[in-house]
Amino acid sequence: MITGILAAAFSCTFFLSFLGIVFGPMGLSKAKQYLTQYGSYPVKVRIGKYLSIGGLAMGIFMTVYFGIYLIGIIAAIASGR
């Protein structure tokens, strides 16, 4: 659950959104490991899994958005505007 919370929190920030991509798969891996070890998901593991999925998706979106934004800034500076 902690890695899911970290994935969701970091993916919402503009400059640290790539950390959502790092912590998202970690949380999914831990949830899958818990399932294979114990056979079912308790509520905390299920919430962590969903937070990891959301953090991963939002981290990817924000990283791509930040990259496009950064390319736009560089292009504007290079063109002299």
Give one DSSP letter per residue of 43-79, joined into a string.
Answer: HHHHHHHHHHHHHHHHHHHHHHHHHHHHHHHHHHHHH
How much is the pLDDT for 17? 80
Query: Which phi and psi (to 5°) does residue 38 adopt?
Result: -110, -15
Would you kindly state where each structural domain of the chain is located, as residue ranges? 2-79
Rounded distance, CA 23 to CA 37, Å? 21
How much is the pLDDT for 78? 92
Query: pTM for the complete prediction?
Result: 0.76
Rounded distance, CA 35 to CA 55, Å? 20
- Could you tell me the mean pLDDT of each successive run of 10 residues in the chain, 81 residues long? 75 77 89 86 85 89 89 91 66
Q: How far is CA 37 from the centre of its chain?
A: 25
